[in-house]
Structure 1
Amino acid sequence: MHFDLPDLRLFIHIAESPSLTQGARRAFLSPAAASARIKALEAQLGSRLLYRDSRGVELTPAGQRLLQHARLIMRQVDYLKTEFADYGTDSAGHIRIFANTTAVTEFLPEILAGFLAERPGVTIDLQERLSRDIVRGVLDGSTDMGIIAGPVAASGLQVLHFSTDRLLLAVPKQHPLAGRKKITLNDTLEYQHIGLREGSTLLSFLREQVETLGKKLSLRIQVSSFEAICRMVEAGVGIGIIPESAAQRHSRTMQIETIELDEPWAIRERSILVRDLEALPGSVRALVATLRPEAAALQSDQ
């Protein structure tokens, strides 16, 4: 069985587009030529890969499997090009990262700024994703690395621990809960919470914990950052659960108090996820090496 790399790349473009026409455009082909190539690929595999209708295309189960393998193959091809173009150095390359909310907003910007300043030839695509999507992305090759907090329930991955994430409750200075040393999640639910926007990793995680208690998280307002949560808390709008790093930084300039969450899940280990560290390009390996001590140092300074 012989696969042409342009056909695999075309299939990826179509699978990631709402229609065959748009996928063909990304591959610089006419829709007719793209359709003929996909039909030839289906004939070679003996399986239908796409459902086509007036609304666009949808992957069949066989198409889903091919997409996973095609992404891995093309990413390895890109790695090969990078390695030979730069003789295995870490001075150039493109890195895609899937990370949780805390990583994207709290410590990655500063670390990546220093990393990129030293490597003008490196580009990075940083995307905030839910934990399950981070794991899936690393497994199927749609991202080079993932950054996650908490246990990782997936085989076939290397899990590289690099720091600890602690969640705290932020309350206004005059709030009825102010002054308490510890509190359970259940005890906070009688008050209205301030949360992050829909789709954020932390909000999804907290909702899962509340659901295990058979209750519902009452959100008065949703905002886009931990700083905005703290400002709302300071103004007396509600209470909010945030990472310790954000709590310590914003409590220096805002009239808020923090309370330790007496929950086993409140302390979560941060980890970097990769499929095979040694198989990654030099630029990705260099970022992993930078991240582990840098993240720990930033946490100790906060």
Structure 2
Amino acid sequence: MHFDLPDLRLFIHIAESPSLTQGARKAFLSPAAASARIKALESQLGSRLLYRDSRGVELTPAGQRLLQHARLIMRQVDYLKSEFTEYGTDAAGHIRIFANTTAVTEFLPEVLAGFLAQRPGVTVDLQERLSRDIVRGVLDGAADLGIIAGPVQAPGLQVLHFSTDRLVLAVPLGHPLAQRQLVSFSDTLAYPHIGLHEGSTLLSFLREQVEKLGGNLALRIQVSSFEAICRMIEAGVGIGIIPESAARRHSRTMQLVTLQLDEVWAVRERSMLVRELDALPGSVRALIDTLLPQPADEKKATH
């Protein structure tokens, strides 16, 4: 059985697009040429890979299996190319990262800015995903690196802890909870919350906790960033649960009261997920080294 790499890449483009036409466009092919290649691939495998209708395409079970293998194969091809580039082992390459909300909006932009400024040949695709999708993406080879917070269930992956953050409750001045030093999550459910947008990892996590309590999370408004949450809280619109790092930063310019949450899950370990660290290209390993705490930082944290 022989596979052409362009056909595998075309199949990935189509699988990740809403239609065959858009997938063909990404591969710089006409829809007719793309359709012919997919049919030839199906004939070679003896399996139907796509369901086609007026709404677009949907993967069959065989298509799902091929997508997983195709991603891994193409990722390894990309790794091979990056290892033999003229720029060197860590100065060029493409890195795809699946990360949670806090990573995407809070600390990764600053880290990546410095990292990319030193490596003009490196490009990054950073996508916000739910925790389960981050784990699955790294396992399937859809992402080189996953960044996640909280407990990690990721058999088959290497987990690299790199920092700790805490979820806290932010309330406006004069709020009934403002005089307390410690508050339980259940106590906050009596008040309207300011939440992140649908699909954010933090909102999904909080809804899971509410479901365990059998309560209801009254969302008054949903916004796209922690800064927007803090502005709404400062204006008295509601209260919100955010990472302590974000609360500390925005408290410098806004009038907020920050309270500790009396919950075990409030302490959030940040971890990176990879399939096999030693097999990653130099650019990905260099980014991981940038995120991992340095000996001086560890020494400072213990004092």
The equivalent residue for 2:72 is 72
Q: Distance in 2 between matches of 1:182 and 1:237?
A: 21
- Contact 2:87/2:121 (CA < 8 Å) preserved in 1? no
- Contact 1:88/1:281 (CA < 8 Å) preserved in 2? no
The equivalent residue for 1:61 is 61
The equivalent residue for 1:229 is 229
Local SS of the residue matching 1:85: coil
Of 180-189 and 47-56, deviating more is 47-56
Corresponding position: 1:46 with 2:46: yes
Give CA-to-partner distance per residue, 1:233-292, whole Å, 9 cap, x none: 112111110101111122222221111101111111100011111111100000000011
Local SS of the residue matching 1:217: coil
Distance 1:285 1:86, change over 3 A: farther
- The TM-score, its normalising length taken from structure 2, stands at 0.94
Q: Distance in 2 between matches of 1:88 and 1:49?
A: 38
Q: How does 1:90-129 map to 2 (within 5 A)?
A: 90-129=90-129
Distance 1:229 1:55, change over 3 A: closer
Q: CA deviation at 1:87?
A: 7.1
The equivalent residue for 1:213 is 213
Q: Distance in 2 between matches of 1:32 and 1:247?
A: 53
Distance 1:28 1:230, change over 3 A: closer
Of 20-29 and 44-53, deviating more is 20-29
The equivalent residue for 1:203 is 203
- Contact 1:162/1:292 (CA < 8 Å) preserved in 2? yes
Q: Distance in 2 between matches of 1:95 and 1:261?
A: 36
The equivalent residue for 2:4 is 4
Q: Distance in 1 between matches of 2:13 and 2:198?
A: 28
Q: How does 1:173-184 map to 2 (within 5 A)?
A: 173-184=173-184
Give CA-to-partner distance per residue, 1:162-214, whole Å, 9 cap, x none: 01120000111211111211111100100111111111111111111111111
Q: How does 1:272-291 map to 2 (within 5 A)?
A: 272-291=272-291
Q: CA deviation at 1:88?
A: 5.0
Q: Distance in 2 between matches of 1:23 and 1:107?
A: 33
Q: How does 1:147-186 map to 2 (within 5 A)?
A: 147-186=147-186
The equivalent residue for 1:82 is 82
- Contact 1:171/1:177 (CA < 8 Å) preserved in 2? yes
The equivalent residue for 1:238 is 238
Q: CA deviation at 1:24?
A: 2.3
Q: CA deviation at 1:53?
A: 2.1
Q: Distance in 1 between matches of 2:239 and 2:25?
A: 49
Local SS of the residue matching 2:155: coil
Q: Distance in 2 between matches of 1:56 and 1:105?
A: 32
Of 86-95 and 267-276, deviating more is 86-95
Q: How does 1:129-148 map to 2 (within 5 A)?
A: 129-148=129-148
Q: Distance in 1 between matches of 2:23 and 2:240?
A: 43
Q: CA deviation at 1:104?
A: 1.1
Local SS of the residue matching 2:152: coil
Q: Distance in 2 between matches of 1:29 and 1:249?
A: 48
Q: Distance in 2 between matches of 1:71 and 1:62?
A: 14
What is the RMSD computed on CA atoms of the aligned residues? 1.8
Q: Distance in 1 between matches of 2:44 and 2:100?
A: 40
Provide the identity percentage.
84
Local SS of the residue matching 1:139: helix
Local SS of the residue matching 1:199: coil
Q: How many residues align?
A: 299
The equivalent residue for 2:18 is 18
Local SS of the residue matching 2:84: helix
Of 10-19 and 20-29, deviating more is 20-29
Distance 1:29 1:252, change over 3 A: closer
Corresponding position: 1:263 with 2:263: yes
Which residue identity lines up with residue 128 of structure 2 in the other structure?
Answer: E
Q: Distance in 2 between matches of 1:260 and 1:238?
A: 17
Structure 2 unaligned regions, length at least 5: none
Q: CA deviation at 1:77?
A: 0.5
- Contact 1:194/1:232 (CA < 8 Å) preserved in 2? yes
